[in-house]
Every structure is written in C-alpha cells, then in structure tokens.
C-alpha cells in the first residue's frame, strides 16, 4: 500500500505540466524602498505593478511569478506605502507599487505619489507598467491618468483581474470596452489568479519587456 502511494506520487511529478514549473524560479525579495537612495542600482530592466487596493495585484504577482507568497512581503505592515523591489532574474526586477484608491488621480500624483514614485518613473531600467484593474469595475476614466503618468517610451499592460467572477459574455464586453480607453497606448487582457486565466499571456508579456534592451525600449 505504502509502495503504491510512492509510485503514484512519482508519476504525478513526472507528468507535471511545464507551466507548473516556475518561469521565475530565482525570484526573491530585494528591498522595500522608502527613498530613491534605497532603490537597487538603475541597471538592467524592471516592470512596475500598480493597482488600487483590493484589485488583486498581490494575487496577480504571485500567480505570474508562481510563488505563492512573494507579494505578501509588500503587505507587511509598514511596507504598504513603500516601493517593493523583487529580483526575478539577475538585473531583471518587478516593482510592486503601493496599492491605493485613485478616485482622483491628479491628487494622487501630486500628494500621495511623492518624489519616490517620480524617481521610479525616470529610471532608465523601467520598461513599463502592469495595471491591475478589477474586471467587474472595468477601466474607468481615472485609470487613464496612469497612461498620462508613464513616459512615452514605457509600455502599459492592463490585467482585467478576477475574470472568473464574470461569465463569458461579460468578460468579452469588459475587454471590448477597455480598448477605446487605452487608445492604442496600452494593451489589455483578462486575468484570473484563481483560475489561472491569462497567466501565461501575462508571463509572456512580462518576460518580453524584461528581455528588451534599452535600445529597443521605444519600439
Ligand atoms: P491587492 O490588495 O490588490 O493586492 O489584492 P489581493 O491580491 O490581496 O486580492 C484582494 C481580494 O481579491 C482577496 O480577497 C483575493 O482573494 C481576491 N482575489 C484576488 N485575485 C482573485 C481572482 O483571480 N479571483 C477571485 N475570485 N478573487 C480574487
């Protein structure tokens, strides 16, 4: 009986689909930065993740990096207002930006997003933003402020999160409605950390951005 159980376990491991093997297996927490001086050196490439509180940002990061509790670090009391840097591979970073409610983006830009955030924006390493938006809410005009925040060379990719809470028709409608708001400046996809929907697509995008050199940046 015991022997049988072991054989069953080994078979299950051998048949583990490739997507279950982390594409970012070297991922590790680097630092919670409270000031630009604490940022990692501005070399290589990094992608920032941003979203209002409860948008599903932490779950999305964990699903994409395939590390169950990586982004939990960012939720540690005292770190929620900081920029949390993770290294996905040598000189390849993910930056978890503070969660917030951006009902009034200009105000957020002026006050709650102080020089810390501006310093991130102007880093040579920054390739772009992943914006996490609850798909039940959809993109709102306030989200457009984020498109204004990024520099022209930066890419923006919107994850319409918690898509498992919508039926097929609703999900398609949310995706369609997002297109005009992004006005060719950004891409969008449906995403569910719970069901795994869109995880591979998000990983592909993140990997492609992190792989691109500075010269390719505006392309
Ligand atoms: P954050 O505050 O933006 O980092 O959001 P969290 O990742 O902590 O998620 C907020 C809430 O949404 C939690 O209760 C999660 O369990 C839930 N959530 C996150 N992702 C999904 C998802 O893909 N599907 C569903 N149904 N719930 C989700």
Which residue is closest in CA terms to ligand 1's atom 21? 162
- pLDDT for the residue numbered 200: 96
3-state secondary structure of 85: strand
pTM of the model: 0.84
Please tell me if the CB atom of residue 51 comes closer than 6 angstroms to any atom of ligand 1. yes
Q: How far is the CA of 119 from the centre of ligand 1 (A)?
A: 28
Secondary structure class of 71 (helix, strand, coil) = helix
Q: Please list, in sequence order, all residues whose beta carbon lies within 8 angstroms of the beta carbon of residue 196, skipping any fewer than 6 positions away.
A: 63
Residue 9 — very low, low, confident or very high, per pLDDT cuts 50/70/90?
very low
Among the residue ranges 23-32, 65-74, 204-213, the one predicted with the least confidence is: 65-74
pLDDT at residue 204 tops 80: yes
pLDDT class for 120, splitting at 50, 70, 90? very high
Compute the distance from residue 49 Cα to the ligand 1 centre, in Å: 14
CA of 161 to the centre of ligand 1 (A): 8
Q: Which of 53, 54, 57, 59 most suits a substitution to test ligand 1, by most atoms within 8 Å of the C-beta? A: 59
Mean pLDDT over 96-115 rounds to: 58
Ligand 1 atom at shortest distance from the alpha carbon of 54: 2
Query: Quick check: CB of 194 below 6 Å from ligand 1?
Result: yes
Kindly give the distance from the C-alpha atom of residue 42 to the centroid of ligand 1, in angstroms, as a whole number. Answer: 31
What is the structure's pLDDT at 7? 35
Ligand 1 neighbourhood includes 76 CB (under 6 angstroms): no
Question: What's the rounded mean pLDDT across residues 126-153?
Answer: 84
In angstroms, the CA 166 to CA 148 distance is 29
Ligand 1 contacts CB of residue 98 (under 6 A): no
The mean of the pLDDT values for the chain is: 80
Which atom of ligand 1 is the closest one to the Cα of 71? Answer: 4
Kindly state the average pLDDT of the residues 106-132: 77
Which two structure tokens, joined as six digits, stand for 113? Answer: 């997003």
Q: What is the pLDDT of residue 143?
A: 73
Kindly indicate the confidence band of residue 219, based on its pLDDT and cuts at 50, 70 and 90.
very low
147 neighbors 186 (Cβ within 8 angstroms): yes
CA of 80 to the centre of ligand 1 (A): 16
Residue 206, classified by CB atoms within 10 Å of its CB into exposed (0-12), middle (13-18) or buried (19+), is buried
Any idea what the Cα angle at residue 203 is, between residues 214 and 187, rounded to 5°? 70
User: What confidence score (pLDDT) does residue 19 get?
Assistant: 46
Q: What is the pLDDT of residues 15-56, one digit of tens each?
A: 444 445 578 888 999 999 988 999 999 999 999 999 888 899
Q: Which of 98, 102, 86 is nearest to 206 (CA)?
A: 86
């Amino acid at each position: 009986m015991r022997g049988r159980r072991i054989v069953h376990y080994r078979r299950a491991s051998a048949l583990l689909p490739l997507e279950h093997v982390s594409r970012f297996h070297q991922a590790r927490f680097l630092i919670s930065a409270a000031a630009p001086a604490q940022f990692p050196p501005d070399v290589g490439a990094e992608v920032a993740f941003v979203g209002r509180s409860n948008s599903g940002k932490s779950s999305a990061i964990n699903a994409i990096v395939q590390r169950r509790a990586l982004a939990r670090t960012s939720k540690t009391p005292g770190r929620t207002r900081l920029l949390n840097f993770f290294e996905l591979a040598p000189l390849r970073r993910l930056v978890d930006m503070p969660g917030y409610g951006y009902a009034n983006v200009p105000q957020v830009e002026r006050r709650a997003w102080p020089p810390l955030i501006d310093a991130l924006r102007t880093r040579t390493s920054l390739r772009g933003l992943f914006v996490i938006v609850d798909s039940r809410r959809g993109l709102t005009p306030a989200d457009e402020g984020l498109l204004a925040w990024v520099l022209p060379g930066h890419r923006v990719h919107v994850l319409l999160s918690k898509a498992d809470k919508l039926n097929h028709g609703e999900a398609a409608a949310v995706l369609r409605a997002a297109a005009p708001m992004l006005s060719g400046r950004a891409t969008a996809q449906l995403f569910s950390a719970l069901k795994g929907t869109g995880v591979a697509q998000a990983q592909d995008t993140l990997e492609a951005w992190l792989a691109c050199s500075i010269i390719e940046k505006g392309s």
